[in-house]
Amino acid sequence: MITRRQFVRDSALLAGGAALLGPSFACRHSSAPASAAAKSRVVGVAVNDMLVDMDYDPAAVHRAFEAGLRELTGERTLAHAWSSLVSPSDVVGVKINCIGAPRISSSIASINETIAGLRGAGVPENSIIIWDRMDRDFRKTGLVLNRSASGVRVMGCSPQWEGVVPWVPGYDKAVWVSFKDGTLARFRELVAAGFLKDASNRELFNSLTWLWGLVQAGELRAVKYEKELRRLYTDTEDRAGILRIADEVAHAFDSYEIENEQKSYLAKIVTRDITKLINIAVLKHNEDSGVTWAAKNIALGVTTNKVRFHIDYCAAAIPAILAQPAIKDKTVLHIGEAAKISTISVAGAQIALDNRIFFSRDPVAMDRVGIDILEEKRAANGLESVRSIATHVAACAARGLGTDDPARIDLRQIKA
């Protein structure tokens, strides 16, 4: 059984070698035929000394970036590679992943290398925004918050937790995606259809995401369930416990309306502030989506009211979010760290080592490569496959956001 990670902490959601890939992903050198140009290019750069005492080494990361970005863009120098992606007039948002810090999160070395590259391309310091979901995510990263008008800005989308409520400050009320999943309205429909009788533990818990929102909002009739909900998120065998709550609230909120409960708003950082987006993602296992890397790091890092997506609805939510023009039209680069890979949970409960960083413009192709790597690492540790639950990758491909077809991925494995 897949282990769930802790649902909430501090009143918030917590928040090998070059031969690891399967036979469909034969290594290609930069001398690949011209036909590869029509494919989605993913570049994996291996550096023998990438990690020193479990930290990314800045010199090794620099070599990886230089080799990887030149190979990705076709430019002769690292400076030209960066200049092909951004211009001095851009405001560049760099989405990182703070969950799991300091054990496993977007590395300071890759962040600093990205800043140096952007500055070298003429982007002013204050036009660079290093960001993640909320301010408190940065506490253990080694980064210092900076919302001032000087220096590189470092900030969360909001100072408040956004996981189970439709809107908090820092999000754009004019831009949203809408889903009925996890709402009180949907729960009422399920109850009326006799859902509680035969629903599994997981289905029951998923149907109550709205109740978490009311707990967060301080609704007294919901707050009394907080402690038990926390326990039941990790005790996946106690169907009687979650069924008891579902039964008790089945009609307790019949006259209650949650404003905009179907909506998940996008962060103002992406809708208003930036003109270009760069993604520094960390390859991790996720209990609910199988893999989290390029696509999920962006999609679930930019929206509110998304705990419901983590649980069962990633395949619907992630492509819908990534298709938003504020993201799709602005994203120019995905950087995928894979020298430290979390094989159990996004917080790094178990880490496998590698020596690579990946670069691509296609988040779906990168994630398709990442699934194979994660599967190999988990299998080596006797862990079950998660490929079947990583459905959001194929869903993104079906939406036209990239390719998950190995025959259409130009995977280039190089050493630096």
Question: How distant is the alpha carbon of residue 318 from its chain centre?
Answer: 9
| Distance (Å, whole) CA 373 – CA 370 | 5
Report how many helices (DSSP H) and strands (DSSP E) the chain contains, helices first: 17, 14
Q: Give the closest residue to 20 by CA, choosing from 365, 354, 384.
A: 354
* Averaged pLDDT, 34-51: 85
pLDDT for the residue numbered 233: 78
The confidence score (pLDDT) of residue 34 equals: 37
The percentage of residues in the chain with a pLDDT greater than 70, rounded to a whole number, is 91
Residue 383 — φ and ψ, nearest 5°?
Answer: -95, 150
- As a whole number of angstroms, the distance between CA 376 and CA 21 comes to 8
403 or 313, which is more confident: 403
Mean pLDDT of 271-287: 97
Element (H, E) at 395: helix 391-398
For the cut 70, the answer to whether the pLDDT of residue 145 exceeds it is yes
d(CA 293, CA 178): 23
- Residues 101 and 249: their CA atoms lie apart, in Å, by 36
Exposed (0-12), middle (13-18) or buried (19+): which is 112, by Cβ within 10 Å? middle
Dump strand ranges (E) for 97-208. Answer: 128-134, 153-158, 171-178
Spatial CB neighbours of 240, under 8 Å, sequence gap ≥ 6: none
Q: Cis omega before residue 124 (within 30°)?
A: no
Token readout for 328 is: 């799709």
pLDDT at residue 35, as a whole number: 44
Number of Cβ atoms within 10 Å of the Cβ of 37: 10
Average pLDDT, the chain: 90
Predicted local confidence at residue 221, as pLDDT: 95
Residue 336 has pLDDT above 60, yes or no: yes
Which residue, among 132, 112, 72, 36, has the nearest Cα to 358 in the 3D structure?
Answer: 72
- Is the predicted pLDDT of residue 217 greater than 50, yes or no? yes
Looking at residue 15, its pLDDT comes to: 31
Using the Cα atoms of residue 14, residue 15, residue 21 and residue 24 in order, give the sign of their dihedral: positive
Residue pair 322/302 in contact (Cβ under 8 Å)? The answer is no
What is the rounded distance in angstroms from the CA atom of residue 338 to the CA atom of residue 15?
A: 20
Within 8 A by CB and 6+ apart from 398, the residues are 319
Q: How far is CA 162 from CA 13, 116, 197, 302, in A?
A: 9, 31, 32, 10
Where helices occur in 218-356 by DSSP H, the ranges are 220-223, 226-234, 239-249, 268, 294-299, 307-311, 314-322, 325-328
- pLDDT value of residue 37: 52
pLDDT at 312: 67
Q: DSSP 3-state assignment of 3?
A: coil
pLDDT tens digit sequence for 8-26: 333 232 233 322 233 333 3
pLDDT at 11: 29
Residues 66-90: tens digit of each pLDDT: 999 999 999 999 999 999 999 999 9
Higher pLDDT, 237 or 48: 48
Give mean pLDDT, residues 360-372. 98
Q: Which residue has the higher pLDDT, 6 or 113?
A: 113
pLDDT digits 0-9 by tens, 292-331? 999 999 999 999 999 888 766 899 999 999 999 999 999 9
For 121, half-sphere exposure in the C-beta direction (CA atoms, 13 angstrom radius) is: 25
DSSP 272: I
Q: How confident is the model at residue 51 (pLDDT cuts 50, 70, 90)?
A: very high
**Residue 356 CB partners (closer than 8 Å, separation 6+):** 18, 44, 45, 46, 47, 50, 64, 338, 339
Helices 239-249 and 226-234, interaxial angle, to 10°?
140
pLDDT band at 205 (very low <50, low <70, confident <90, very high): confident
Task: Please state which architecture CATH assigns to domain 34-174+266-415.
Answer: 3-Layer(aba) Sandwich (3.40)
With a cut of 80, say whether residue 254 has pLDDT above it. Answer: yes
**CA gap 243, 6 in Å, rounded:** 20
**Is 38 or 137 the better-scoring residue by pLDDT?**
137
- In this prediction, residue 201 has a pLDDT band, given cuts at 50, 70 and 90, of confident
Q: Scanning the structure block, which residue is given the tokens 């989290």?
A: 292
